[in-house]
Structure 1
Amino acid sequence: MDWFTLSVVIILLAASAFFALSETALTGASRASMLRLSKQGNRDADVVSRLFDMRERLIGALLLGNNIANIGASALATGIFTAWFGEVGVLYATGVMTALVVIFAEVLPKTIAINAPDRVSLAVARPMRATVFVLGPVLAVIEAIVRFLMRLIGFKVGANQPILSPTERLRGAVDLLHHEGKVEKQDRDMLGGLLDLRELQVSDVMVHRTEMVMVNADLPQEDLVREVLATEYTRIPLWRDTPENIIGVLHAKDLLRAIRAAEGDVSHIDVASLALPPWFVPEMRSVSEQLKAFRRRKTHFALVVDEYGEVEGIVTLEDILEEIVGDISDEQDVQVAGVRVQPDGSVVVDGSVPIRDLNRAMDWGLPDEEATTVAGLVIHEARSIPERGQSFTFHGFRFRVLRRERNRITALRIVPVPRGETEETRPRRAGTAF
């Protein structure tokens, strides 16, 4: 009889280990992975997804089954040890069962599940579905009692919302995978750039009007053609009377076709007539919406205007794609060294370099909410236009103005401040040198 009871104790310990294994695996499994496997035809993943949808009942089944197994095993073991050793057997049973439950029914199965939650979830999915079905009536009563008690203490069921938005949670998952070495920096940056499209405005990615290449449509035809062919771009805005009066956008291929049709005689070509009507977009439009607009209109080029209708710059499809994949260079691009790492560890940066590009290149975290360029960030923090040689310390970096042209900061030197340095050891003020 004792051997039969002992066998039941072992079976109950195995059941407790199963429930502990299932609890850790099913609470730690990735819903995204299960959804992906489900779409690939994995039926066990379908079962896991359905268990996720009934999370309250699943947790109830796991806890109920685990407690029944542990309590039953402990009660039977106490009877066996009491029959063998008398009243002192209660102490022996407590010590032995504690060791067995902790090691074999808790730590060991949960450690296994932690190391492979997705695989273990697929393995236990069908048995857990059967368990939830069998214990359904009991679990329904338990859920009703729990909900009543929660309402009694003023806790609204289902009222809690996640702290982060789905986008931020996805970004956090990507950062975590990168930290664990499972996602390379380039892939992390690409995924991060894709998630940022909805938060960015066209003004954050456009080419500013001070850097635009435009051609005067009033030039003689020979000079106009020469100016267009001298640029490294395929789409060139044409203006008339004043640079703000843009009359069209000329595509270099259209000009070359016209030159070929005229057998090289550019004097007979009306270049302005070859230009396409300009497309103006507001600077506050989100980048994701602009990407959709590019696809709808099947064009790659737009002029950006502010709320007063003044031209602020240009935005192209390439500018948006570069926010995802990084800088795209071809044989026609003019390489401008905007970020130059120095041997002493400092970084010399052109003032016009976008903060996002600098963060991506150096893996930094400078804020880009209040300014688009590095120069704009310094001006925003300094609340003035600094003079050449002035230095500022903020956001964990020290900025020194190397060059200024009129009201524009054109070059800065940036040095990360060691973590050990505090504002008490190095005061934050302007006009100090490195």
Structure 2
Amino acid sequence: SLGVSNAELVARSMVPIISVFATVFSPMGKSASWLTKKVLRFFGLKAVDDGRVSEEELRLIVMGARQSGGIEQEEAMMVEGVLDLQDTRVSEVMKPRVEVEALEKNATLMDLLHVVNSTHYSRIPIYDESIDKIVGVTIAKDLLSYAADPVSLRTCTVAEVMEPTYFVPESMVVQRVLEEMRRRRLHMAIVVDEYGGTAGVVTLEDILEEVVGEIYDEGDDMEEITDEDNIMMVGEGSFQLRGIADLEDVCLALNMTLETPDVRDFGTISGFLCDQAGEIPAVGDCLLVSDYAFTVADADERRILLVYAELIDNLTSDPDKPFIRTRYTKENDQEDNPRSRNGNGRGLSDRFSWNRSDDPPNRRGDSAQESDELQDGVLPS
């Protein structure tokens, strides 16, 4: 527009006009402000005369600047990431307990060297008997002092070189964690749950990635980086999800709407799907959630590791789709389990097995036919 392309010229020309209007309407503005304060005081409320820009207003400014081309998409995301730090809990950004690489305090420096070489981590937590009792953190660069002394590597324990650590509750907001880590000059903190057990670890890099996105080291293998992407689109309406993928991020990527308590109660797609199934699903199990069919591709006895999500419409429109599924075995009665129904009556957690040789079901939506399909074990429309 003319104002955007010639902002300074237009602003200079509008100053006299705005000045005249400000002078004319100033008495009216002051009168309205005085009356407002009187009314608020009458109801026992205190008038706040604060000219500062609120967080909501700042977000609107950033959104407007991004849409008008005033700032780049990446810059807008960084600003929004900074604003989100005060609302994000450390449990949302930490590395969970099951992925933490740690050593027992009696382990030798040679053991530490092997762990550092295999993980490429610069800091390794040290525990006493149990990982729930972390007593310190070792820094990889400290091994350089023993590089020329193989005997010390085999005789010295990690307890002799470890540094004190810092503990934070998993409910603590990321902004406060960042402030404390900067003040204490630490790069890693141990996240504990409400019972004092280890919930995970958080690093400065984890927090920084909330602002600038994923950060990869120069030594990272690109194939490993691709494998570590939590959410990947593998086709139109088809996604590959790691079990640790954030549930809220999954909902955004899949344009899927869930009840607010579900998103708040579960941090990962693995936890949510396990809750919907009522157990830990096995490889090959499928669950219907909203408009998607989630198929477990990899899992162990404790959690889902990898899952494929595909639009149900895709499964019934193209019989050549690689993830076509048409038969199911219902294990939960929807009438006895209100949680397994969404707004339009379709089960949220219908489990079914699949056979690629089956013909795709008819999706006419006819109630009588749907009843027949249920009796035949065919996925209803």
Tell me the TM-score normalized by structure 1.
0.59
Q: How does 1:35-434 map to 2 (within 5 A)?
A: 120-130=10-20, 132-133=22-23, 135=24, 140=27, 144=31, 166-179=54-67, 183-220=71-108, 222-260=110-148, 262=149, 265-333=152-220, 334-335=224-225, 336-337=227-228, 338-355=230-247, 358=250, 362=253, 368-379=263-274, 382=276, 384-385=278-279, 387-388=281-282, 389-394=285-290, 397-415=292-310, 424=344, 428-432=348-352
**281-290 or 423-432, which deviates more:** 423-432
Aligned partner of residue 369 in structure 1, secondary structure:
helix
CA shift for structure 1 position 224: 4.6
Flag the 1:259–1:427 CA change in 2: closer, same or farther, 3 A. closer
Flag the 1:401–1:224 CA change in 2: closer, same or farther, 3 A. closer
- Whole-Å Cα distance in 2 between the matches of residues 160 and 205 of structure 1? 36
Ranges of 4+ aligned residues in structure 1 off by more than 6 Å = 111-118, 145-152, 155-161
Flag the 1:222–1:172 CA change in 2: closer, same or farther, 3 A. same
- Whole-Å Cα distance in 1 between the matches of residues 183 and 271 of structure 2? 33
- Whole-Å Cα distance in 2 between the matches of residues 365 and 176 of structure 1? 26
The answer to whether the Cα contact below 8 Å between 1:209 and 1:313 also exists between their aligned partners in 2 is: yes
- Structure with the greater alpha carbon radius of gyration: 1
The answer to whether the Cα contact below 8 Å between 1:400 and 1:413 also exists between their aligned partners in 2 is: yes
- Whole-Å Cα distance in 2 between the matches of residues 409 and 238 of structure 1? 27
The answer to whether the Cα contact below 8 Å between 2:108 and 2:157 also exists between their aligned partners in 1 is: no
CA shift for structure 1 position 298: 1.3
Flag the 1:303–1:424 CA change in 2: closer, same or farther, 3 A. closer
User: What CA deviation, in whole Å up to 9, does each residue of 1:185-209 have, x standing for no partner?
Assistant: 4333322211110001111111011
Question: Counterpart of 1:50?
Answer: none
Structure 2 residue runs of 5 or longer lacking an equivalent are: 314-341, 355-378
The structure in which a higher percent of residues are helix is 1
Question: Counterpart of 2:328?
Answer: none
CA shift for structure 1 position 416: 5.2
CA shift for structure 1 position 379: 4.2
- Whole-Å Cα distance in 2 between the matches of residues 203 and 431 of structure 1? 30
CA RMSD of aligned residues (A): 4.2
- Whole-Å Cα distance in 2 between the matches of residues 141 and 352 of structure 1? 58
Question: Counterpart of 1:74?
Answer: none
Aligned partner of residue 324 in structure 1, secondary structure:
helix
Flag the 1:240–1:183 CA change in 2: closer, same or farther, 3 A. same
Flag the 1:149–1:429 CA change in 2: closer, same or farther, 3 A. closer
